[in-house]
Amino acid sequence: MIDLTRTTTQLLEGLRHSDDAEAWMQFERRYRALLHNFARKLGLSDADAEDAAQEAITRFITEYRQGKYDREKGQLRSWLIGIVRYRVLEARRRQARSAQPLPGDDLLEDEQGLTRIWDQERREHILRHAMEQLRTQTSMADKTLNAFDLLVTRQMSPKDVAQSLGMSVHDVYLAKNRCATRLREFIEQLETVYDAEQ
């Protein structure tokens, strides 16, 4: 679970100290899945994407502690994108020697394209975590959460959701509004947590 009490700024302060294991774990929780999915969207296999995520986290923290990362000179996301980009280029070079090169090398040279992919994955990452928090950190009934999931995520009609769960259509809409309100709150909190990345 992502710690909503620590902004990225606070987390980076904790990473300066090698004995702050909690900061390391929170940084990893916050960025591992995001980095993994970003690398997958750039064409890496699942295993290579996992390696790229691990390398990005480890390398960033090492270089951050060595004073190589300066927030005044660059954004955290740019630093992380650069590490993953390098890993993707290396994987493509290895593949080019053994087989046909993968399409999309031009994407790796497109800063704006990479930023768009990162931002899209970041939004999806935040939404996944907000949905997890909606399920685990609220006292909403399972039926309410299921109605929201069927209506919004699975795109079922309100009538079909009502029939499926034994609810009225009115109650389906109430469930949607209640869940959407809480979900927006969680999304806003998570966006604040990632504030320093921009």
* Rounded Cα distance, 172 and 148, in Å: 8
- CA end-to-end span of the chain, whole Å? 22
Measured between alpha carbons, how far is residue 151 from residues 53, 129, 134, 159, 168 in Å? Answer: 33, 19, 15, 10, 13
At 168 the pLDDT is 94
Does position 196 have pLDDT exceeding 60, yes or no? no
At 160 the pLDDT is 94
Annotate 124-187 with DSSP letters as a single string.
HHHHHHHHHHHHHSS---HHHHHHHIIIIIS---HHHHHHHHT--HHHHHHHHHHHHHHHHHHH
Which of 8-22, 36-50, 62-76, 96-110 is most confident?
Answer: 36-50
The Cβ-side half-sphere exposure at 10, using a 13 Å CA radius, reads: 10
If we measure between CA atoms, which residue out of 128, 129, 170, 133 comes closest to residue 151?
Answer: 170
Does position 57 have pLDDT exceeding 90, yes or no? no
Least confident of 27-41, 58-72, 94-108, 182-196: 94-108
Does position 174 have pLDDT exceeding 90, yes or no? yes
CB 68 within 8 A of CB 20: no
CA Rg value for the chain? 20
CB 77 within 8 A of CB 117: no
CB 23 within 8 A of CB 9: no
Q: Enter the pTM of the model.
A: 0.69
At 195 the pLDDT is 64
Q: Over the stretch 60-102, which tens digit does the pLDDT of each residue have?
A: 888 888 888 777 766 788 888 888 888 888 877 776 665 554 5
Measured between alpha carbons, how far is residue 183 from residues 100, 124, 125, 148 in Å? Answer: 44, 13, 13, 11
Reported confidence tier of residue 164, pLDDT bands at 50, 70, 90: very high
At 104 the pLDDT is 55
List, in order, residues 6 or more apart from 2 with CB less than 8 Å away. 26, 29, 30, 129, 190, 193
Percentage of residues of the chain with pLDDT beyond 90 = 23
At 198 the pLDDT is 45
